[in-house]
Amino acid sequence: VPDDLLLGLKFIFGPCAVPALDLVDQRSVTRVISPSGRTAYQVLGSSGKLYTCYSSCHFCTCPAFGFSVLQKSESLLCKHILAVYLSQAMGACQELTVSEEQLINILLADEEDEG
């Protein structure tokens, strides 16, 4: 990424820009697609935990999103959502096709982790 673009990303997205680019570089973003066309993104975080992101509604299951974005309104997004957007723009997403049932299990597993 050219320096001027990196500076722009840091200016707009703050401290999550560089960690998000690291996630893209590590190819940590996977687009999960079901036969019906439903999609979600899974991002392997730097801690080794897998987070599910929904670019269509701008949401991530990570604690930072819940705290910094939803509770405190300190940020526009977390590094995982930014990594999804950047990987889409750069064509750097992994792709995984799953059945409808597998996608439901992925989504329900995230709900159980939160509860």
Q: Looking at residue 102, what is its pLDDT?
A: 95
Model-level pTM greater than 0.75?
A: yes
What Rg value do the Cα atoms of the chain yield, rounded? 14
Given a cut of 80, whether residue 110 has pLDDT beyond it is no
CA 46/CA 21 separation, integer angstroms: 12
Q: How confident is the model at residue 3 (pLDDT cuts 50, 70, 90)?
A: confident
Q: Looking at residue 107, what is its pLDDT?
A: 87
**pLDDT of 58-84, one tens digit each?**
899 999 999 988 989 888 899 999 999
Query: Which of 68, 19, 69, 66 is closest to 44 using CA atoms?
Result: 19
DSSP code, position 75? -
Q: Mean pLDDT score of the chain, rounded to an integer?
A: 90
**Which positions ≥6 away from 9 have C-beta within 8 Å?**
1, 17, 21
DSSP code, position 61? -
What is residue 13's three-state secondary structure? helix
